[in-house]
Amino acid sequence: MCGIVGYIGKRKAYPILIKGLHRLEYRGYDSAGVALINEAGQLNVYKAKGKVAELEAFCAEKDTCGNIGIAHTRWATHGEPNTVNAHPHYSESERLAIIHNGIIENYAVLKAGLMEQGYTFKSDTDTEVLVQLIEYTQVNRHVDLKTAVQLALQQVIGAYAISILDKTHPDTLIAARKGSPLVVGIGEDEYFLASDATPIVEYTDKVIYIEDEEVVVIHPVTDNPSPVTVTTIGNVQKTPEIKRLELSLSQLEKGGYPHFMLKEIFEQPRTLTDSMRGRVNVRQDNIALSGFIDNKDRFLNAKRIIITACGTSWHAGLIAMYAIEEFAQIPVEVEYSSEFRYRKPVINKDDVVIAISQSGETADTLAAIQLAKEKGAFIFSICNVVGASIPRVSDSGCYTHVGPEIGVASTKAFTAQVTALTMLALCIGREKGTINEEQYLRIVRELGQIPSKIERVLGQDKLIGDFAKIFSYAQNFIYLGRGYNFPVALEGALKLKEISYIHAEGYPAAEMKHGPIALISQEMPVVVVAPHCGTYEKIVSNIQEIKARKGRVIAVVTEGDELVSKIADYCIEVPATEECLTPLLTVIPLQLLAYHIAVVKGCDVDQPRNLAKSVTVE
Ligand code: AGP
Q: Which pLDDT does position 272 carry in this prediction?
A: 96
Looking at 156-255, which runs of residues are DSSP E strands?
Answer: 160-166, 173-178, 183-186, 190-194, 206-209, 214-218, 228-232, 237-238, 243-244
Helix 126-141 / helix 145-153 crossing angle, nearest 10 deg: 120
Which string of b and e fits 56-91 if b means at least 16 CB within 10 Å? bebbeeeebbbbbbbbbbbbbbbbbbbbebbbbbbb
Residue 131 alpha carbon to ligand 1 centre in Å: 37
User: What is the torsional sign of CA 488, 542, 499, 594?
Assistant: positive
| Atom of ligand 1 at shortest range from CA of 390 | 16
| Atom of ligand 1 at shortest range from CA of 611 | 4
| Residues 73 and 86 sit within 8 Å (Cβ to Cβ) | no
Question: 499 CB under 6 A from ligand 1?
Answer: no
Residue nearest to atom 6 of ligand 1 (CA): 311
Question: 194 CB under 6 A from ligand 1?
Answer: no
Helix (H, G, I), strand (E, B) or coil at 452: helix
Question: 410 CB under 6 A from ligand 1?
Answer: yes
Per-residue CA distances from 285 to 288, 443, 444 (Å): 10, 9, 6
Question: 311 CB under 6 A from ligand 1?
Answer: yes
Instruction: Choose one of 313, 314, 415 to mutate for the ligand 1 pocket test, by most ligand atoms within 8 angstroms of C-beta.
Output: 313
Q: Which pLDDT does position 306 carry in this prediction?
A: 98
Instruction: Choose one of 307, 310, 315, 501 to mutate for the ligand 1 pocket test, by most ligand atoms within 8 angstroms of C-beta.
Output: 310
| Residues 392 and 244 sit within 8 Å (Cβ to Cβ) | no
Q: Which pLDDT does position 283 carry in this prediction?
A: 79
Question: 338 CB under 6 A from ligand 1?
Answer: no
Q: Helix, strand, coil proportions of the chain in percent (round to 5)? A: 40, 20, 40
Residue 374 alpha carbon to ligand 1 centre in Å: 25
| Atom of ligand 1 at shortest range from CA of 365 | 16
Contacts (Cβ under 8 Å, ≥6 apart) of 242: 186, 206, 207, 208
Q: Which pLDDT does position 434 carry in this prediction?
A: 97
Closest CA relative to residue 365, chosen from 346, 349, 398, 388:
388
With a cut of 70, list the residues of the chain below it in pLDDT.
none
Residue nearest to atom 3 of ligand 1 (CA): 409
d(CA 545, CA 564): 12
d(CA 454, CA 272): 10
Residue 440 alpha carbon to ligand 1 centre in Å: 30
Instruction: Choose one of 358, 381, 497, 590 to mutate for the ligand 1 pocket test, by most ligand atoms within 8 angstroms of C-beta.
Output: 358
Instruction: Choose one of 356, 362, 382, 609 to mutate for the ligand 1 pocket test, by most ligand atoms within 8 angstroms of C-beta.
Output: 362
| Atom of ligand 1 at shortest range from CA of 498 | 2
Phi, psi of 204 (to 5 degrees): -160, 155
d(CA 454, CA 574): 8
Residue 247 alpha carbon to ligand 1 centre in Å: 31
**Residue 288, strand partner residues:** none
Question: 381 CB under 6 A from ligand 1?
Answer: no
| Residues 381 and 354 sit within 8 Å (Cβ to Cβ) | yes
Residue 365 alpha carbon to ligand 1 centre in Å: 11
Residue nearest to atom 16 of ligand 1 (CA): 357
d(CA 369, CA 611): 23
Residues shown for the chain = 618
The 10s digit of each residue's pLDDT in 395-425 is 999 999 998 898 999 999 999 999 999 999 9
| Residues 615 and 487 sit within 8 Å (Cβ to Cβ) | no
Integer Rg of the chain from CA = 26
Question: 365 CB under 6 A from ligand 1?
Answer: yes
Looking at 454-602, which runs of residues are DSSP E strands?
Answer: 476-481, 503-508, 526-530, 553-558, 570-574
Residue 415 alpha carbon to ligand 1 centre in Å: 13
Question: 409 CB under 6 A from ligand 1?
Answer: yes
Q: Which pLDDT does position 609 carry in this prediction?
A: 80
Share of the chain above pLDDT 70, in %: 100
| Residues 232 and 161 sit within 8 Å (Cβ to Cβ) | no
| Residues 321 and 420 sit within 8 Å (Cβ to Cβ) | no
Instruction: Choose one of 312, 336, 605, 609 to mutate for the ligand 1 pocket test, by most ligand atoms within 8 angstroms of C-beta.
Output: 312
| Atom of ligand 1 at shortest range from CA of 410 | 2
ω into residue 589 within 30 of 0, thus cis? no
Residue 270 alpha carbon to ligand 1 centre in Å: 21
Residue 520 alpha carbon to ligand 1 centre in Å: 29
| Active-site residue list | 2, 613
Closest CA relative to residue 288, chosen from 398, 439, 124, 401:
398
| Atom of ligand 1 at shortest range from CA of 495 | 2
Output the pTM of the full model: 0.81
Q: Which pLDDT does position 447 carry in this prediction?
A: 96
d(CA 184, CA 395): 42
Per-residue CA distances from 19 to 22, 31, 47, 240 (Å): 5, 15, 16, 26
| Residues 143 and 215 sit within 8 Å (Cβ to Cβ) | no
Cα angle at 309 between 461 and 80, to 5 degrees? Answer: 90
Beta strand 228-232 pairing with 237-238: antiparallel
Residue 356 alpha carbon to ligand 1 centre in Å: 10
Q: Which pLDDT does position 136 carry in this prediction?
A: 97
d(CA 262, CA 47): 33
Residue 412 alpha carbon to ligand 1 centre in Å: 12
Q: Which pLDDT does position 590 carry in this prediction?
A: 98
Question: 358 CB under 6 A from ligand 1?
Answer: yes
d(CA 243, CA 211): 13
d(CA 228, CA 537): 62
Question: 404 CB under 6 A from ligand 1?
Answer: no
Based on DSSP, count helices (H) and strands (E) in the chain, helices before strands: 20, 27
Amino acid making up residue 407:
G
Closest CA relative to residue 312, chosen from 271, 354, 356:
356
Contacts (Cβ under 8 Å, ≥6 apart) of 449: 577
